[in-house]
């Protein structure tokens, strides 16, 4: 059932893959970056193997000038007679006029390039120190296909080679690369040469170079590898947290995989400008500052969790991704899904009290929200040109992929699963593998038909909804599956999955658990005794939604206390999804929500509030007061119970819950008392930061912004500029998009194109503005007007993410559709179609429920 796209006949493999006649074995690269002129000069000698005699060598290069290319073998030395650069295919063709015989050769190329400002390839970044002085940094970001901007190379993941890097830099600068420094010498002209040790065999996208005024923490030894946090001067106090989780997770993974860390050292490096969250360069992982540097004392739990997540994720890649790599970009999902899965596992082992797998429910639900679209794609998806790889870094690759792996792990058993992973890594280390290689290893370790089970999840788009009703005769349950989609199908869908269903049942004989593999449309689960209630998807690990016959739903909602938090979460989330799909009346959901007023779990509340936020997005302005009243009613009991100050002995989940309940009450609920109290507390916080519990601070900021005027706006903007740590900077920056006064929001719009906001953040600020119901129409017009500027200015990978903001433009659907019909987004993959379909879903919901909404909310 491999969902292959029809081959485009005019495109041949040659158009998007390098010829295989010549492959690299070892690169020796010497680069001299100049941080004043933003240029660099380079020379490389590559040990190559010529497999078939050829008179030309084709490799990847873009934005590089090639001055000279020579091949040598023993006494033979040939200089390229022609160097053709092909910017469209990002290649260089070196012609030698004579045929190179098969065997080993050395290729030497001299070249020049630029330190660009697009946060990819070899790029520049800058920051101001506390005295206001500007400092410059040069850094690399190569995944997926930008190593070719730094040096000519065979820039495909399967063409692994070792790298030996040397850098010539100013005497007063520091440089970091994948490996430890072998030697360093002064050149006497104000510059020095640093030579790094040779790397293991790895893909070109994993090479890394960072140059600037960096400082490093003292190394912690983790199983023989020194681990450091590297940062620009002055940020040492923000490194402890990352050092702890960095050391913990590295040790955790070497135990889990039962393989030693493959590098000779590990630096975790915070870069002032960074396009994504982090990048798993072997031994030199780069991060945006918010994902690595954090003040443990003032950060909220979710800010701390973000650092723990990202550090663990990248460390997991050192084996899964770096030591063993996908053959081609269609296998990217396995790298990313697996690292996401491992990130949860490590963080859960580090802080079990965080209940990381329960909060993963939120990510699973977000993936389902995309995967319920007709414009979704299978997890593993055909990637022909490498340039299409950029479209693969999405929620389906990461979150759906991780959720499906978690489902498999739970089905096989944690230890069987671990053994299979370890086997897979040992078999393919220093080389490349495909998805089926993992299934083979898991089948070998578990003795189960893993491939058959997983094919239906990996190669099919979408996921099923499992419906359950009492079996006729009252002897158990009837389970059935069909594809879940928000919008009606054009034709009947006959897709089937092999669904490992876990069912928890209470009968007069007590509570029991049943496991059934649902691989047909319907199956009967026999349960002895009279069923009091039944819950499908016990433990919440399954990547499917559940739907209950009315009598089963009634029974289940009267037994909420007997369900685990993740099961209550799934019940709320599944019911809400059915409402959005038009399968369940809104009134039923609102009635059910009332049963959760005494709910104590953070993530269940997140699911409830997500539904009310959605209503806030689609509702007519006139109905908003009714929505606000309903939110106040829903939250009243929880807010009264939690109060504004920490209670003796409470855990962190409770203080986080307080923050989201009070935050929602003061914004979505527009509660006046809540607003006044928040103002009072925020004023105290200004005088004494320790007077407010740290999880509550972001909630106070959001309430003040929501209700604030010019004075608050000015203050928050100042705080953004004077922030003491990356998290504070983020909080205040994004608060500027959640005010409710148009003239203030216009000022924020202007900031998205000014130098006040880094291009790594500006697209996300724009996203927030598109979601703000006060300014969304105007933000959309602003975006249209400035589209070309944005495309030119923002990192390429952030454009599809910025555009996600359009899902809130419920009054502008036609206009939005028209715009994207003529403005294609590079690297968007299917994501723009998905955003447009989500908008369609919201508009359909609005027109279906619109007239009744106000009445329903008052009911
Ligand atoms: Zn990753």
How many whole angstroms separate alpha carbon 307 and alpha carbon 288?
Answer: 10
Omega before residue 210 within 30° of 0, cis: no
How far away, in angstroms, is 132 Cα from ligand 1 center? 34
Strand bridging mode 91-100 / 82-86: antiparallel
Q: Which of 53, 81, 52, 86 is nearest to 69 (CA)?
A: 81
Given this model, what pLDDT does residue 392 score?
85
How far away, in angstroms, is 333 Cα from ligand 1 center? 9
How many whole angstroms separate alpha carbon 507 and alpha carbon 522?
Answer: 22
Phi, psi of 669, deg, nearest 5 = -90, -10
How many whole angstroms separate alpha carbon 112 and alpha carbon 172?
Answer: 23
How far away, in angstroms, is 276 Cα from ligand 1 center? 10
271-290 pLDDT, tens digit each: 999 999 999 999 999 999 99
How far away, in angstroms, is 314 Cα from ligand 1 center? 6
How far away, in angstroms, is 398 Cα from ligand 1 center? 8
Given this model, what pLDDT does residue 10 score?
41
How far away, in angstroms, is 143 Cα from ligand 1 center? 10
Strand bridging mode 181-186 / 191-196: antiparallel
How far away, in angstroms, is 316 Cα from ligand 1 center? 8
How far away, in angstroms, is 359 Cα from ligand 1 center? 19
How far away, in angstroms, is 312 Cα from ligand 1 center? 10
How far away, in angstroms, is 444 Cα from ligand 1 center? 26
Residues 131, 132, 136: CA angle, nearest 5 degrees:
110
**Positive or negative torsion for Cα 196, 198, 199, 205:** positive
> Which residue is associated with the tokens 């939690």?
642
How far away, in angstroms, is 192 Cα from ligand 1 center? 34
Retrieve residue 236's tokens. Answer: 């040492």
How far away, in angstroms, is 458 Cα from ligand 1 center? 18
Question: Cα–Cα distances in Å, from 479 out to 444, 492, 501, 558, 814?
Answer: 31, 19, 9, 21, 40
How far away, in angstroms, is 317 Cα from ligand 1 center? 7
How far away, in angstroms, is 346 Cα from ligand 1 center? 14
| Sheet bearing 82-86, strands edge to edge | 54-60, 91-100, 82-86
How far away, in angstroms, is 27 Cα from ligand 1 center? 25
How far away, in angstroms, is 476 Cα from ligand 1 center? 43
Given this model, what pLDDT does residue 385 score?
82
Which residues is 32 bridged to in the sheet? 41
Residues of the chain with pLDDT under 70: 1-15
How far away, in angstroms, is 475 Cα from ligand 1 center? 47
How many whole angstroms separate alpha carbon 267 and alpha carbon 215?
Answer: 11
State the DSSP code for 133. Answer: -
Phi, psi of 568, deg, nearest 5 = -70, -40
Q: Which of 827, 848, 841, 796 is nearest to 276 (CA)?
A: 796
Residues 419, 423, 424: CA angle, nearest 5 degrees:
120
SS (H, E, C) 321-390: CCCEEECCHHHHHHHHHHHHHHHHHHHHHHCHHHCHHHHHHHHHHHHHHHHCCCCCCCCCCCCCCHHHHH
Given this model, what pLDDT does residue 717 score?
98
How far away, in angstroms, is 407 Cα from ligand 1 center? 20
- Beta strands, E only, 414-508: 431-433, 464-470, 477-483, 499-507
How far is the first Cα of the chain from the last one, in angstroms, to the nearest whole number? 47
Q: Is 487 in contact with 375 (CB distance < 8 Å)?
A: no
Question: Cα–Cα distances in Å, from 134 out to 131, 213, 234, 288, 444?
Answer: 9, 11, 14, 18, 57
Which residues is 227 bridged to in the sheet? 220, 266
How far away, in angstroms, is 335 Cα from ligand 1 center? 7
How far away, in angstroms, is 255 Cα from ligand 1 center? 20
How many whole angstroms separate alpha carbon 293 and alpha carbon 295?
Answer: 7
Q: How far is CA 300 from the centre of its chain?
A: 20
Strand bridging mode 22-34 / 162-170: parallel
> Which residue is associated with the tokens 């499917």?
544
Retrieve residue 811's tokens. Answer: 């009054």
**Positive or negative torsion for Cα 819, 821, 826, 829:** positive
How far away, in angstroms, is 393 Cα from ligand 1 center? 9
How far away, in angstroms, is 342 Cα from ligand 1 center? 10
Q: How far is CA 402 from the centre of its chain?
A: 11
How far away, in angstroms, is 557 Cα from ligand 1 center? 39
Retrieve residue 650's tokens. Answer: 């409470």
Given this model, what pLDDT does residue 3 score?
34
Active site residues: 314
How far away, in angstroms, is 647 Cα from ligand 1 center? 38
Q: Is 737 in contact with 772 (CB distance < 8 Å)?
A: yes
How far away, in angstroms, is 283 Cα from ligand 1 center? 15
């Amino acid at each position: 059932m491999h969902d292959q796209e029809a081959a485009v006949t005019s495109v041949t493999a040659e158009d998007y893959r390098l010829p295989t006649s010549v492959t690299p074995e070892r690169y020796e690269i010497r680069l001299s970056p100049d941080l004043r002129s933003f240029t660099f000069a380079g020379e490389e000698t590559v040990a190559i193997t010529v497999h078939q005699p050829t008179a030309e060598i084709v490799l990847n290069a873009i934005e590089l000038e090639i001055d000279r290319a020579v091949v040598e073998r023993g006494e033979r030395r040939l200089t390229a007679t022609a160097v053709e650069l092909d910017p469209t295919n990002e290649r260089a063709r070196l012609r030698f006029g004579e045929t190179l015989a098969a065997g080993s050769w050395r290729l030497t190329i001299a070249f020049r390039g630029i330190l660009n400002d697009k946060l990819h390839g070899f790029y520049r970044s800058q920051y101001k120190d506390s005295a206001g002085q500007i400092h410059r940094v040069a850094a690399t970001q190569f995944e997926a296909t930008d190593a070719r901007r730094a040096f000519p190379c065979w820039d495909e993941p399967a063409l692994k080679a070792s790298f030996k890097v040397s850098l010539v830099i100013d005497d007063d600068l520091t440089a970091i690369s994948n490996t430890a420094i072998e030697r360093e010498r002064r050149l006497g002209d104000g510059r020095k040469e640093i030579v790094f040790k040779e790397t293991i065999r790895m893909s070109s996208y994993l090479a890394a170079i960072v140059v600037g005024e960096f400082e490093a923490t003292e190394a912690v030894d983790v199983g023989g590898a020194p681990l450091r946090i590297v940062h620009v001067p002055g940020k040492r106090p923000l490194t402890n947290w990352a050092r702890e989780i960095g050391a913990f997770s590295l040790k955790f993974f070497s135990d889990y995989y039962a393989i030693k860390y493959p590098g000779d050292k590990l630096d975790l490096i915070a870069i002032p400008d960074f396009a994504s969250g982090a990048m798993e360069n072997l031994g030199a992982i780069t991060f945006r500052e918010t994902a690595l540097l954090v003040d443990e004392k003032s950060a909220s739990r979710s800010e701390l969790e973000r650092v723990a997540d990202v550090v663990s994720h990248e460390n997991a890649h050192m084996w899964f991704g770096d030591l063993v790599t996908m053959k081609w970009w269609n296998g990217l999902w396995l790298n990313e899904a697996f690292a996401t899965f491992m990130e949860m596992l490590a963080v859960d082992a580090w802080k079990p009290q965080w209940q990381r797998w329960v909060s993963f429910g939120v990510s699973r639900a977000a993936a389902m929200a995309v995967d319920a679209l007709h414009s979704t794609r299978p997890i593993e998806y055909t990637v022909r040109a490498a340039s299409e790889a950029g479209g693969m870094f999405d929620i389906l690759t990461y979150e759906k992929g991780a959720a499906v792996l978690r489902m498999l792990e739970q089905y096989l058993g944690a230890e069987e699963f671990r053994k299979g992973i370890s086997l897979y890594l040992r078999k393919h280390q220093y080389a490349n593998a495909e998805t089926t290689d993992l299934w083979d290893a898991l089948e070998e370790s578990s003795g189960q038909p893993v491939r058959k089970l997983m094919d239906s999840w990996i190669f099919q788009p979408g996921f099923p909804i499992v419906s359950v009703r009492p079996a006729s005769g009252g002897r158990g349950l009837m389970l059935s599956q069909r594809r879940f989609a928000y919008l009606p199908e054009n034709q009947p869908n006959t897709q089937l999955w092999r669904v490992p269903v876990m069912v928890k049942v209470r009968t007069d004989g007590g509570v029991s658990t049943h496991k059934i593999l649902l691989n047909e449309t319907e199956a009967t689960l026999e349960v002895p005794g009279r069923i009091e209630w039944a819950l499908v998807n016990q433990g919440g690990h399954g990547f499917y939604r559940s739907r209950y016959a009315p009598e089963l739903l009634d029974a289940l909602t009267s037994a909420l206390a007997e369900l685990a938090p993740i099961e209550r979460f799934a019940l709320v989330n599944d019911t809400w999804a059915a409402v959005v799909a038009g399968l369940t009346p809104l009134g039923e959901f609102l009635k059910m929500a009332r049963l959760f007023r005494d709910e104590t779990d953070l993530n269940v509340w997140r699911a409830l509030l997500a539904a009310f936020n959605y209503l806030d997005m689609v509702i007519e302005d006139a109905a908003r007061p009714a929505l606000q009243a309903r939110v106040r009613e829903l939250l009243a009991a929880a807010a009264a119970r939690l109060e504004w100050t920490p209670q003796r002995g409470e855990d962190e989940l409770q203080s986080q819950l307080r923050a989201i309940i009070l935050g929602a009450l003061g914004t979505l609920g527009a509660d006046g008392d809540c607003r006044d109290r928040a103002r009072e507390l925020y004023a105290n916080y200004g005088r004494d930061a320790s007077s407010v519990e740290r999880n509550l601070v972001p909630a106070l900021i959001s309430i003040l912004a929501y209700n604030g005027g010019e004075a608050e706006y000015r203050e928050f903007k100042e705080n953004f500029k004077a922030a003491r740590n990356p998290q504070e900077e983020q909080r205040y920056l994004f608060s500027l998009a959640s005010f409710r006064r148009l003239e203030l929001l216009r000022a924020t719009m202007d900031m998205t194109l000014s130098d006040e906001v880094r291009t790594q953040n500006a697209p996300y600020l724009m996203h927030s503005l598109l979601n703000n119901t006060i300014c969304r129409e105007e933000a959309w017009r602003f975006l249209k007007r400035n589209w070309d500027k944005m495309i030119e200015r923002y990192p390429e990978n952030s454009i599809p993410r910025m555009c996600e903001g359009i899902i809130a433009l419920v009054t502008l659907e036609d206009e939005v559709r028209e715009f994207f019909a003529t403005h294609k987004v590079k690297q968007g993959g299917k994501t723009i179609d998905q955003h447009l379909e989500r908008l369609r879903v919201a508009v359909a919901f609005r027109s279906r429920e619109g007239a009744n909404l106000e009445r329903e909310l008052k009911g």
